[in-house]
Chains A and B, each alone.
Chain A
Amino acid sequence: EVQLVESGGGLVQPGRSMRLFCGASGFTFGDYAMHWVRHGPGKGLEWVAGISWNSGSIGYADSVKGRFTIYRDNARNSLYLQMSSLRVDDTALYYCAKSPTLRAGYRNDWFESWGQGTMVIVSS
C-alpha cells in the first residue's frame, strides 16, 4: 500500500524559511515523479511544484518560483520542499502527491496518491 507522510510544517514568521519533508513507502519511490500541492484556507487546491523520477526535470507554480525548491533523495525514499521568503499567503495545508506513471517527468501528470498533509502557517 502506498503511504506518503508529510512533516515539517508549523508556525513561521513572514520572510523566514521552512523545509517540508515527505517520506514514502509501499512503492519504488525512485521510479515515480512526485509533487507538492497546497490547499489554503478558504481556497482551492493549488499545484506548487513537481519533480521527475530522476530529478532531471523540475517545475514550479509562478506563485512560488524563485522562493521554493523541490528536491528528492531516492536512496532515502524522501521528497522535500525548501521554502524561503515565506509570505502570509503561503499559509496552507501542503500535500505530497505521487504520479501514476513509471519513470516519467512531472509534466502532463496527475495525482494517484496523496499524503495527509502538513500545515504551514505564516504569521507574525
Chain B
Amino acid sequence: SYVLTQPPSVSVAPGQTARITCGGNHIESKHVHWYQQQPGQAPVLVIYYDTDRPSGIPERFSGSNSGSTATLTINRVEAGDEADYYCQVWDTATDHLVFGGGTKLTVL
C-alpha cells in the first residue's frame, strides 16, 4: 500500500515560516491535499490539488509538490496555526484514499 511520510513535529516561532513535508514514492505524479486539525475540532481543508486554496483560507497557506516531496508552507505563523496537519492522496494501485501520519505544528 502507498505510504505518505510526514515528520511527527515541526516547531516555529511566531512570524516565521513553517514548512511541513509529505514524502511518497513518485508523489509528484499525484494530487496532494492538506488538512488542518486543531485540538477537539474536525479537520479543515487548507490546500487541494497541490497548490489551490479553498475560499476562507488565508494566503499565508501555500502548497507545492515536486521531486519526491510535497510541502505545506505557512508564512508569518500565528499562534492560531498550532494544530495537526495531514497530507492526503489517492492511491491508484489500491483505489484507496491515503493520509500521512500527521505533523504537529508547535508555535513557540
Decide if B99 touches A45 in the complex (CB within 8 Å): yes
> A123 contacts the other chain (Cβ, under 8 Å)?
no
Chain B, interface size category, equals 20 to 34
User: Which residues of B are found within 8 Å of A111, using beta-carbon distances?
Assistant: 33, 35, 43, 45, 88
Chain A, interface size category, equals 20 to 34
Decide if B31 touches A114 in the complex (CB within 8 Å): no
Known A111-B35, A115-B42; judge A44-B97 contact (CB<8 A).
Answer: no
Decide if B54 touches A112 in the complex (CB within 8 Å): yes
> B95 contacts the other chain (Cβ, under 8 Å)?
yes
Interchain pairs with CB closer than 8 A, number: 58
> A31 contacts the other chain (Cβ, under 8 Å)?
no
User: Which residues of A are found within 8 Å of B96, using beta-carbon distances?
Assistant: 47, 59, 61-62
Among A14-67, those with CB < 8 Å from B are: 35, 37, 39, 44-47, 50, 59, 61-62
Decide if B45 touches A50 in the complex (CB within 8 Å): no
Q: How far is the CA of A114 from the CA of B33 in the complex (A)?
A: 14
Q: How far is the CA of A107 from the CA of B98 in the complex (A)?
A: 11
Decide if B48 touches A110 in the complex (CB within 8 Å): yes
Decide if B90 touches A44 in the complex (CB within 8 Å): no
Decide if A47 touches B44 in the complex (CB within 8 Å): no
Contact partner of B102 (CB less than 8 A), chosen from A45, A59, A107, A108, is: A45
Tell me how far the C-beta of B99 lies from the nearest C-beta in chain A, rounded to whole angstroms. 5
Tell me how far the C-beta of A79 lies from the nearest C-beta in chain B, rounded to whole angstroms. 15
Q: How far is the CA of A88 from the CA of B43 in the complex (A)?
A: 24
Decide if A44 touches B99 in the complex (CB within 8 Å): yes
Tell me how far the C-beta of A27 lies from the nearest C-beta in chain B, rounded to whole angstroms. 15
> B101 contacts the other chain (Cβ, under 8 Å)?
yes
Tell me how far the C-beta of B95 lies from the nearest C-beta in chain A, rounded to whole angstroms. 5
> A116 contacts the other chain (Cβ, under 8 Å)?
yes
Among B1-55, those with CB < 8 Å from A are: 1, 31, 33, 35, 37, 42-45, 48, 54
